Amino acid sequence: MATATDRAVGFGLVAFSLALFVYYTLWIVALPFIDSDHSIHRYFLPREYAVIIPVVAGLLLLLFIGKRYFGVFIMVVMWKNRKPARKSD
């Protein structure tokens, strides 16, 4: 069973994800249909960041995951290609 702390952390993560989803959806879907001089625009970043932020986050994720798997790949290749040590008298 999950402890109260686990449940609180899980609830916090779900709430944060939901808030982020609603904010991003409003930013991308609803904001282009609202006049640019409306006061709601001051709560959102410029629209260019709607593309830049996810791309940078995805590239960083690929970089960190790729670095790990690339290191494992190199380790496996080196392990399989090693030659047995010669016996010396």
Q: What is the pLDDT of residues 57-84, one digit of tens each?
A: 999 988 888 877 888 888 888 888 887 7
Average the pLDDT over 13-24 and give the result.
96
- Contact indicator for 17, 11 with CB cutoff of 8 Å: no
Average the pLDDT over 32-44 and give the result.
91
Please state the pTM of the whole predicted model: 0.64
In the structure encoding, which two tokens stand for residue 76, read together? Answer: 């496996």
- Collapsing DSSP to helix, strand or coil, 63 comes out as helix
Side chain identity at residue 83, one-letter code:
K
Q: What pLDDT, on the 0 to 100 scale, is given for residue 89? A: 58
Tell me the C-alpha distance between 25 and 43, whole Å: 14
pLDDT band at 14; cut points 50, 70, 90: very high
In the structure encoding, which two tokens stand for residue 47, read together? Answer: 């629209």
The answer for residues whose C-beta is within 8 angstroms of residue 24's C-beta and 6 or more apart is 50
